[in-house]
Amino acid sequence: MIAELGLALLWIAAALACLSLVAGVLYVRGGQAELAALVRPASVAQGVLTATAFGLLIALFVRSDMSVELVARNSNSLKPMIFKVAGTWGNHEGSMLLWLTILCLSGALIALFEKRLREDTLIATLAAQAALSLGFFAFLLFSSNPFNRLPVAPPDGQGLNPLLQDIGLAFHPPTLYVGYVGLSVAFSFAVGALVTREIGPAFARAMRPWVLFSWIFLTIGITAGSYWAYYELGWGGWWFWDPVENVSLVPWLAGAALLHSVAVTATRNALRAWTVMLAVIGFSMSMVGTFIVRSGLLTSVHSFAVDPERGTFLLVLMAIYIGGALTLFALRAGSVAEGKKFALLSREGSLVINNLLLTTILALVLLGTLYPIVAEAMGEKISVGPPYYNRVAGPLALVLCLVMVAGPLLSWRRDDGKRLWSRLPVAALAGAAVLVLLVVFGGKIGILPLLGMVVAAIVAVASLAPLWGRNLRRTPLPTWGMVTAHFGVAVALAGMGAESAFIKERLVAAAPGDIIKVGSYAVTFVGVKPVAGPNYTSIEGTLVARTAGGGEFTMRPEARTFPGLMGTAPTETNEAALLTRPGGQLYAVLGQPVTSDDGRADRYQIRLWWKPLVWWIWLGGGLIALGATLSLVGRAQLPGIWRARRYRKSQERFAP
Amino acid sequence: MTNRWVLFVPLAIMGLLFGAFIYRLVTPAETLIRSQWIDKPMPLFDLPPATAGVEGLESSQLADGKPRLVNVFASWCIPCRAEAPQLEALKAAGVPIDGIAIRDRPEDVATFLREYGNPFDRIGSDMQSSVQIALGSSGVPETFLIDGKGIIREQHQGIILAEQVPEIIAKLEAMK
User: Per CB distance under 8 Å, which residues of A are interface residues toward B?
Assistant: 273, 277, 280-281, 284, 288, 291, 295-297, 299, 308, 311-312, 315, 318-319, 322-323, 326-327, 329-331, 333-334, 338, 370, 373-374, 376-377, 381
Nearest CA in chain A to B6: A330
Tell me the backbone φ, ψ of residue B154, rounded to 5 degrees: -155, 150
Assigned domain for A217 exists: no
CB A272 within 8 A of CB A336: yes
Instruction: Please name the member of B20, B33, B34 whose beta carbon is closest to the beta carbon of A373.
Output: B20
DSSP per residue, A485-518:
HHHHHHHHHHHHHHHHHH-EEEEEEE-TT-EEEE
Assigned domain for A333 exists: no
Choice between A84 and B22, residue whose per-residue pLDDT is larger: A84
Cβ contact, residue pair B25, A329, below 8 Å: no
Cβ contact, residue pair B24, A312, below 8 Å: no
Question: Across residues A471-488, what is the average pLDDT?
Answer: 88
Question: Is the previous residue joined to B10 through a cis bond, with omega within 30 degrees of 0?
Answer: no
Query: In terms of residue numbers, what domain contains A528?
Result: 504-615
Task: In whole angstroms, give the CA distance from residue A92 to residue A590.
Answer: 32
Cβ contact, residue pair A330, B22, below 8 Å: no
Return mean pLDDT, chain B: 86
Instruction: Please name the member of B11, B25, B29 whose beta carbon is closest to the beta carbon of A326.
Output: B11
Question: H or E segment at A522?
Answer: strand A521-532
pLDDT at A162: 60
Question: H or E segment at A183?
Answer: helix A167-196
pLDDT at A412: 80
Q: Which residues of A touch B17 (CB under 8 A)?
A: 288, 370
pLDDT at A627: 93
Side-chain half-sphere exposure of A161, counting CA atoms within 13 A: 13
Task: Give A360→chain B minimum CA distance, Å.
Answer: 14
CA angle, A144 then A146 then A149, to 5°: 110
Given a cut of 90, is residue A52 above it in pLDDT?
Answer: yes
Nearest CA in chain B to A324: B11
Among A235-249, B30-44, B92-106, the range scoring the smallest mean pLDDT is B30-44
Task: In whole angstroms, give the CA distance from residue A424 to residue A461.
Answer: 9
Task: Look at residue A564 and give its three-state secondary structure.
Answer: coil
Cβ contact, residue pair B25, A315, below 8 Å: yes
Task: Give B29→chain A minimum CA distance, Å.
Answer: 9
Given a cut of 80, is residue A645 above it in pLDDT?
Answer: no
Residue positions counted in chain B: 176
Task: Give B36→chain A minimum CA distance, Å.
Answer: 9
Interchain CB contact of B26 with A (< 8 Å): no
Among residues B13, B38, B54, which one has the least CA distance to residue B142?
B38
Instruction: Please name the member of A288, A323, A376 whose beta carbon is closest to the beta carbon of B11.
Output: A323
Instruction: Please name the member of B25, B30, B34 whose beta carbon is closest to the beta carbon of A311.
Output: B25
Q: Which residues of A touch B33 (CB under 8 A)?
A: 381
Cβ contact, residue pair A377, B24, below 8 Å: yes
Cβ neighbors of B105 (< 8 A, separation 6 or more) are B75
Among residues A62, A160, A42, A18, which one has the least CA distance to residue A107?
A42
pLDDT at A338: 67
Task: In whole angstroms, give the CA distance from residue A51 to residue A58.
Answer: 11
Task: In whole angstroms, give the CA distance from residue A200 to residue A655.
Answer: 11
- Sheet bearing A584-594, strands edge to edge: A504-510, A603-612, A584-594, A577-581
Most confident stretch, A131-135, A510-514, A601-605? A131-135
Phi-psi group of A584: left, alpha or beta (phi > 0 → left; psi -120 to 50 → alpha; rest → beta) = left
Given a cut of 80, is residue A336 above it in pLDDT?
Answer: no
Task: In whole angstroms, give the CA distance from residue A465 to residue B2.
Answer: 39
CA distances to A26, A144, A175, A197, B70 from A51, in Å: 27, 17, 16, 33, 63
Nearest CA in chain A to B1: A334
Interface with A, mutate which of B4, B13, B17, B26 (most A CBs under 10 A): B17
CA distances to A360, A391, A452 from A396, in Å: 8, 9, 11
Assigned domain for A107 exists: yes
Interface with A, mutate which of B11, B31, B138 (most A CBs under 10 A): B11
CB B93 within 8 A of CB B169: yes
Question: Across residues A620-630, what is the average pLDDT?
Answer: 94
Grade residue A28 by pLDDT with cuts at 50, 70 and 90: confident
Cβ contact, residue pair B14, A326, below 8 Å: yes
| pTM for the structure as a whole | 0.83
Task: Give B14→chain A minimum CA distance, Å.
Answer: 7
Return mean pLDDT, chain A: 84
pLDDT at A467: 85
Question: H or E segment at A608?
Answer: strand A603-612
Grade residue A300 by pLDDT with cuts at 50, 70 and 90: very low
Beta bridge partners of B145: B69, B154
Among residues A538, A577, A626, which one has the least CA distance to residue A212?
A626
Among A287-296, A299-308, A619-628, the range scoring the smallest mean pLDDT is A299-308
Cβ contact, residue pair A312, B25, below 8 Å: yes
Choice between B36 and A324, residue whose per-residue pLDDT is larger: A324
Interchain CB contact of B8 with A (< 8 Å): yes
Cβ neighbors of A404 (< 8 A, separation 6 or more) are A354, A459, A462, A463, A486, A489
Q: Which residues of A touch B10 (CB under 8 A)?
A: 277, 280-281, 326, 329-330
Write the pLDDT tens digit of every residue in A199-256: 888 888 888 999 999 999 999 999 988 888 888 777 778 888 888 788 889 999 999 9
Burial A284-322 (b: 16+ CB within 10 A, else e): bbbbbbbbbbbbbbbebebbeebebebbbbbbebbbebb
Grade residue A302 by pLDDT with cuts at 50, 70 and 90: very low
Question: H or E segment at A424?
Answer: none
Question: Across residues B101-109, what is the average pLDDT?
Answer: 90
Question: Across residues A386-406, what is the average pLDDT?
Answer: 90
Assigned domain for A47 exists: yes
Grade residue A644 by pLDDT with cuts at 50, 70 and 90: very low
Interface with B, mutate which of A187, A310, A326 (most B CBs under 10 A): A326
Among residues A292, A296, A318, which one has the least CA distance to residue A307?
A296
Among A98-107, A307-316, A438-447, A554-563, the range scoring the smallest mean pLDDT is A307-316
Final residue belonging to a domain, choices A104, A127, A161: A161
Of all residues in chain B, what percent carry a pLDDT higher than 70?
92
CB B30 within 8 A of CB B138: no
CB A255 within 8 A of CB A215: yes
Cβ contact, residue pair B14, A376, below 8 Å: no
pLDDT at B118: 92
CATH 3.40.50.880, domain B46-175, yes or no: no
Question: Across residues B120-124, what is the average pLDDT?
Answer: 93
Total domains, chain A: 2
Interchain CB contact of B34 with A (< 8 Å): yes
Cβ contact, residue pair A281, B30, below 8 Å: no
Of all residues in chain A, what percent carry a pLDDT higher than 90?
30
Among A155-159, A463-467, A507-511, the range scoring the smallest mean pLDDT is A155-159
CB A353 within 8 A of CB B34: no
Task: In whole angstroms, give the CA distance from residue A514 to residue A217.
Answer: 45
Amino acid at A165: Q
Among residues B94, B101, B163, B153, which one has the least CA distance to residue B132?
B101
Beta bridge partners of A554: A544
Grade residue A304 by pLDDT with cuts at 50, 70 and 90: very low
Given a cut of 90, is residue A473 above it in pLDDT?
Answer: no
Choice between A441 and A279, residue whose per-residue pLDDT is larger: A279
Task: Look at residue B41 and give its three-state secondary structure.
Answer: strand
Q: Which residues of B touch A376 (CB under 8 A)?
A: 24, 27, 30
Write the pLDDT tens digit of every residue in A162-171: 655 667 767 7
Amino acid at A368: G
Task: Give B6→chain A minimum CA distance, Å.
Answer: 8
Cβ contact, residue pair B25, A273, below 8 Å: no
Task: In whole angstroms, give the CA distance from residue B50 to residue B57.
Answer: 9
pLDDT at A599: 65
Question: Across residues A299-303, what is the average pLDDT?
Answer: 44
Assigned domain for A168 exists: no
Dihedral sign computed on CA atoms, order B3, B8, B10, B15: negative
CB A501 within 8 A of CB A449: yes
Q: Where are the alpha helices (DSSP H) in A423-537?
A: 425-441, 447-464, 477-502
